[in-house]
Amino acid sequence: MSAVTTTLTEDQLALAEVTLDFAQEQLAPHAVTWDQDKHFPLDVIRRAASLGLAGVYVREEHGGSGLSRSDGVLVFETLATGCPSIAGYLSIHNMVAWMIDRYGDDVQCAAWLPRLCSAASLGSYCLTEPGAGSDAAALRTRAERQGDHYVLTGVKQFISGAGASDLYVVMARTGEPGPGGISAFVVERDDPGVSFGPNERKMGWNAQPTRQVVLDGVRVPAGRRLGAEGDGFRIAMNGLNGGRLGIAACSLGGAQSALDRSLSHLADREAFGGRLLDAQALQFRLADMATELAAARALVRQAAEALDGADPLAPRLCAMAKRFATDTGYAVADAALQLHGGYGYLSEYGIEKIVRDLRVHQILEGTNEVMRVIVARGLTETLR
């Protein structure tokens, strides 16, 4: 990986080296085949867990690695150089684990976190619904209190890992309309009433399943609720702050891989009596790609430091970083495909897969239009 490393600590450099070795040995050689076969490599994910990559932010006493958000963006950028699809799923899994570690009680943490950190159980995040995507506060899935249980009914849409995951953090309405009436629950795959839609046919991210999660009168103990009633929307949004950084970092890693491949390709190809790499017009294109990635990386790291420091501006910075890094990552990957010429359009070269994988990053964890809304609200709130 050619990322700028001058500001990293020795521990972070060592973390990057271990993660890069894993990405290049365990992910990169298989990424195209997994994409074509729509194969979700559970064995490889569990190998990642053995390196501490399935509980990145979870406290050590709960079986996690206890790393910071600044460490995490480094992990996910590096993983994505091997396969953005698997790195993206691991980002979501880690978001789920963090939410339980942050908002779960001692009993919940002891029951679920060791399983998540070892990847003996996988996690999925269930907020979006068929009629509530960007307007998440309008969700309709309900959780009716019945004695010491809740009964959940509704449908969640576009759920990464669905069907393969064992634990689902589900946002459901327990009260009035709007964000204040939403609570968070942990649902298990084998709970009666849980079923899944067909695996969606997608443009990218084919190495992980995406399905509906259907909740048909799913009865869960009250002890499966995370936090208090009405806290669910706040929990969901706080989870997404970190999730947005994870996806932003995955865009950086995928785009960096595409840039590195472009350098090698242009060095090997000749046209008009010389190496393509020596053509100044192409050098300028490469320079712009590297510059834009460096700028995006700096913003992602700034946002991660803000989140680590509980800066009040952190949510806005996370939105900025997610918008800028995912737009930049996609643009760089698309430019890399162009630099490869016809070879970039062939699946065996892996560039078109990176382009397809990175396109969805501009949509998930909050569309980039919603990121602009978050930033604009922060800028104008004192003028209302």
Active site residues: 365
Structure tokens at 154: 């509704």
Structure tokens at 97: 């684990």
First-to-final CA distance of the chain? 45
Half-sphere exposure of 69 (CA within 13 A, CB side): 27
Give the number of other Cβ atoms within 10 Å of residue 224's Cβ: 21
Could you tell me the sign of the dihedral formed by the alpha carbons of 35, 41, 45, 48, in that order? negative
What is the Cα–Cα distance from 37 to 249, expressed in whole angstroms? 25
What is the Cα–Cα distance from 249 to 317, expressed in whole angstroms? 14
Structure tokens at 88: 């993206």
Find out whether 125 and 243 touch, Cβ atoms under 8 Å.
Answer: yes
Can you say how many angstroms the Cα of residue 173 is from the centroid of all Cα atoms in its chain?
Answer: 25
Structure tokens at 219: 């009865």
| DSSP-derived secondary structure for 25-61 | IIIGGGHHHHHHHT---HHHHHHHHHTTTTSSSS-GG
